[in-house]
Amino acid sequence: MFSFRRQVYCDNNATTPVSRAVRKAMNDVLAHCYANPSSPYRMAHRAADILAGARERVAKAINAPAESLFFTACATESNNTVRAIAPLLPVGKRAILYNPLEHPAMLESLFRLGEQGFALIPLAPDRQGRIAPRAVENALRDDVGLVVCMAANNEVGTLYDVEGMAGVARAHGALFFCDMVQALGKVPVDVRESGVDYASFSAHKIHGPKGVGALYVREGAPFAPFMLGGHQEEGRRAGTEGLHNIAGFAAAAADVPRLLASAAALRQKRETFIAALTRIAPDCVINSPGGGQCQPGTVSVTLPGTANAVVMGQLDYYGVSVAAGSACNTGEDLPSHVLTGMGLTPEEARATLRIAFPHNLPEKDLRYVIAVFGKVLTGQDGEVMALQPAQLTEEVLFAPGVFIIDLRHAMKPEYALKPLPGSHRFPFYSIGKHLHEIPRDRHILVTCETGYDAPIVAYYLKRKGYGRLTFLMWGILGWKLAQPELYARLARQHSEEAS
């Protein structure tokens, strides 16, 4: 089984591989239709035809009138339009009822509105992220003018009764904004049947290109453009349309029926994986709801006593790509707001993984993923050592033959935490370009700020043939907390040497 490593991509909620049909559609536009769709001459007429045809194809995938849909740069932009829509609410209807498990693109937009005087009322999801329409009805007040709830959660896969919620909102005179990014291609999406007023979409979640999204606006719903400075998209979104990306989105949308046809088989494979995982790790906790209440291919699992970054690194070594349930690589060690919003503790969130299977997952790949999880979770993968912060003494730090890697992010040049003395700084995202600087005849200790990046790179180096590898658990932050006096003295020493 492990004489060779397969590559099984299980992070399809983050993005999906671009399909062959999408690549062809995009290449055709890039090669033969580079004119601006807004220009008056004949070449531009063809570009305008492609744009109109793409709009119809994407609209068909969500059962919307073509004129109710316009293209954006991404779903993040589509969600940010709530900041332009909310000021159009009547003066006495400036409260917003929302799902606190929304994507940050929506949450941060809402928080900005809160700073501008809008009242924000969070709903209360249960332990698996569910919110019933009755909960929306009970939380509605006379001053609520907008209800915001996603169709499917990106971290745990929970599906929401959008039609029921939108119906409740409409009965109370409130508008409904729905992030449908994670639903399209996984469950049937019908914006007219669901009764939503606004819905956001993204191409790269359905095997389309990155850099293009869409926003549905129900006819008659109040709307103001978020992007200003041009007449494009009938005045609803300024900026020259990225026609090649839009053509790719249309090609991906045309394939949605095929994606939906595979949902039942994928759901069964998901259940097979969960059953196997609970046999391998009986104390694991499945955070995703079961059956039809969850996306067909998403599993959120908490593995008590583990660090998700370590397990990710181990799985990645064997070619299995998954995501963590924690955003601790921000440098602030913050757990996932989705998981803590569902009631998990920060420690449980940092022990949580998200597996998002592809719609066309082969049986042999599923068996391989289960086997890899078995090897990793039963302790059979012990070739890379984990060093606890309390074990990082001066003797270890200054032992001869130790090469210390300090991982940093280029976009964050200033760090509150000082590196270990004698360490060598390397960029996390491009460390592969620096392998010639890392000796193969020394014991390598990999560190980072919060412990998220170090195990991933340690297992990457293992895959590249490095032999003696150790990573610092919980990073320099953990070491500072475990040994504050030693950190203070050595950090000062490092600063003096640097100056």
Catalytic residues: 328
**Helices assigned H by DSSP within 281-386:** 308-317, 337-341, 346-349, 363-377
Q: What span, in angstroms and rounded, lies between the C-alpha atoms of 186 and 257?
A: 10
Specify whether the CB–CB gap between 135 and 99 falls below 8 A. Answer: no
For residue 146, report the phi and psi dihedrals to the nearest 5 degrees: -145, 135
Both tokens assigned to 319: 């070619």
**Helices assigned H by DSSP within 81-180:** 82-85, 104-115, 133-139, 162-171
Biggest distance spanned by C-alpha atoms of the chain: 75
Query: Helix or strand or coil: residue 233?
Result: helix
Q: Which residues contact 121 (CB under 8 A, 6 or more apart)?
A: 95, 96, 97, 98, 139, 141, 144
Specify whether the CB–CB gap between 302 and 398 falls below 8 A. Answer: no
Q: What span, in angstroms and rounded, lies between the C-alpha atoms of 499 and 493?
A: 10
Specify whether the CB–CB gap between 10 and 353 falls below 8 A. Answer: no
Within 10 angstroms of residue 442's Cβ, the number of other Cβ atoms is 15
